Amino acid sequence: MYRVAVRSIWSELARQERLKVCDEIKLDLPKTRSLSKILLGLDVPGRVLIVTEEYSENLNLAARNIKDVQVREVGSLDPVTLVASETILLSSGSLREIERSLQ
């Protein structure tokens, strides 16, 4: 039942065009300015959820200073966070993991 509900949420997010996929979301240094430039370049407005396949300390440290930006790993996603985000930015690796988990 849970898997069907989560699958439905992902489907609705795709239908509303709230999902954006990029190759990799990686920061060499935990600089908020660097992450802000990346988000501006990708044109991701509003409350942003960045989904990665594994924990990135630099990304988490950079994102904590930006209002309305959260970073989550695929394993720690929950339906409430998905629905509450205006834009979800996925790395291609995290998208593959999500697809595997929903099969």
**pLDDT tens digits for 3-25?**
888 899 999 999 999 999 998 88
* Number of DSSP helices (H) and strands (E) in the chain, helices first: 5, 4
Structure tokens at 25: 């979301």
Residues (pLDDT < 70) of the chain are: none
Domain boundaries of the chain, sorted by first residue: 2-101
| Rounded (10°) CA dihedral 78, 84, 86, 87 | -10
* 98/103 Cα distance (integer angstroms): 9
Q: Taking the complete model, does pTM exceed 0.85, yes or no?
A: yes
CATH superfamily of 2-101: Ribosomal protein L4/L1 (3.40.1370.10)
Angle at 46 between CA 42 and CA 52, to 5 degrees: 55
